[in-house]
Amino acid sequence: MFGDAVARITKLRIDEPDRGRGRGTVAALAAEEVARGWGCRRIEATVPADAAAAFRLATALGYVVRNRGMEKSLGDTPPELPEGSRARPMTEAEFGPWLEKGEEDYARSWIERGVPEAEARAKSERDHATLLPEGLATHGTLISVLEHEGTAVGVLWLALRADSAFVFDVETYAAHRGKGHGRTLMLLAEAQAIVEGRRAIGLNVFAGNTPAERLYASLGYETKLYAMYKPLV
């Protein structure tokens, strides 16, 4: 994900008879020592939202939440957009500036959470190249511009997966925030997913993005996974 400077705990399981004896703490601390021996500067782990004991352990050991994965089950009827709002496909002329800004914003999100700038920018460039190899023509990708009363007010990037859809980016333009367009963009994501035959939709939200967290929760999204990290000193 970030190269050799970052280690990841991919699985930590304590058998039922040995739980409650501090074995999890010992195992996690041992993993940190191994990572330090490798020269890693940071260690990461993902914790399911329903694993309360694992979350308490990670928090006690100094891990903090970086972002969380949220999901929502969808019905069969696409929601309607508010009156005056409509969506259209992004044009090629719009794509270049949007991609450039998206790469910068994504890198900045990681930098603000302690990732060295070079690593953050490399990750942003790599992720966008992987997810959008053919630009707007990338298979399973819908990048839409939301208009309200004829004015462009935001952008939605939705990816179609085998059994679900995933919101990679949703943005209301700065001059049009606070008017409910973020909610409209999310309704658009649900409508597009349902039309394409998906009945579940997911997204990631960075910790501290309180307006987004509140919006997603109000729309019925539930946290399924916490992505956590800890600096190694």
Specify the pTM: 0.89
The three-point CA angle 70-72-75 to 5° equals 170
Taking domain 73-226, whether its CATH number is 3.60.15.10 is answered by no
What does the domain layout of the chain look like in residue ranges? 6-66, 73-226
Per-position pLDDT tens, the chain of length 233: 556 688 999 999 888 887 888 899 999 999 999 999 999 989 999 999 999 999 999 999 999 999 999 999 999 999 999 999 999 999 999 999 999 999 999 999 989 887 889 989 999 999 999 999 999 999 999 999 999 999 999 999 999 999 999 999 999 999 999 999 999 999 999 999 999 999 999 999 999 899 999 999 999 999 999 999 999 98
Note the CATH number of domain 6-66.
Answer: 3.40.630.30
The three-point CA angle 145-148-150 to 5° equals 85
Q: Do domains 6-66 and 73-226 have the same CATH topology?
A: yes
Which residues touch 196 (CB under 8 Å, ≥6 apart)? 160, 165
